């Protein structure tokens, strides 16, 4: 389960930050997730609840901000923003077409990253 291991990693980072600041509780975790990571926000929220149950992050609100994907065309050199199709969600295959020249000779330059933007703690 992709989302659960990811949620667990977020929790470990948040926990380490809280311990470093002698916090008693984590109240909010703000995440940025690229559209092309294939992470489903609803599943991630549920996984985060499970991963933090009984910990100092129990009940913390997970705020997820999704960032659009960007591809660059190897033929015309222009960038396009893309979203995942249903098909890509099902197959995990990510092939994107340039919006300027319709070429499929493209590479993903953004949208595959996920990072913690901000953590709110209570001291
Ligand atoms: Zn192109």
With a threshold of 0.85, does the pTM exceed it? no
Give residue 82 CA to ligand 1 midpoint distance, Å. Answer: 13
State the DSSP string of 96-112. ---TTT--S-EEEEES-
Give residue 86 CA to ligand 1 midpoint distance, Å. Answer: 23
Supply the mean pLDDT for the chain. Answer: 91
Record the tokens describing residue 67, joined without a space: 């960032």
Give residue 49 CA to ligand 1 midpoint distance, Å. Answer: 42
Separation of alpha carbons 77 and 79, rounded Å: 7
Entry field: residues in the chain = 123
Right CATH for 2-69+111-122 from 3.40.50.10860, 3.30.2320.50, 3.40.50.300, 1.10.10.10: 3.30.2320.50
pLDDT at position 37 is: 87
Question: Once rounded to an integer, what is the mean pLDDT over residues 89-105?
Answer: 83
Separation of alpha carbons 26 and 29, rounded Å: 8
Residue among 53, 64, 63, 61 at smallest CA distance from 26: 61
Domain ranges of the chain: 2-69+111-122, 70-108
Residues with a beta carbon under 5 angstroms from ion ligand 1 = 73, 75-76, 98, 100-101, 103
pLDDT at position 89 is: 66
């Amino acid at each position: 389960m992709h989302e659960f291991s990811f949620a667990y990693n977020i929790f470990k980072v948040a926990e380490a930050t809280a311990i470093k600041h002698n916090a008693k509780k984590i109240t909010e975790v703000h995440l940025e997730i690229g559209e092309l990571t294939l992470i489903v926000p609803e599943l991630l929220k549920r996984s985060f609840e499970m991963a933090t149950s009984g910990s100092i992050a129990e009940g913390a609100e997970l705020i997820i901000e999704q960032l659009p994907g960007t591809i660059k065309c190897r033929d015309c050199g222009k960038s396009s923003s893309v979203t995942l199709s249903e098909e890509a969600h099902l197959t995990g295959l990510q092939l994107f077409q340039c919006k300027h020249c319709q070429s499929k000779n493209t590479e993903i330059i953004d949208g595959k990253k996920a990072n913690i933007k901000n953590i709110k703690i209570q001291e």
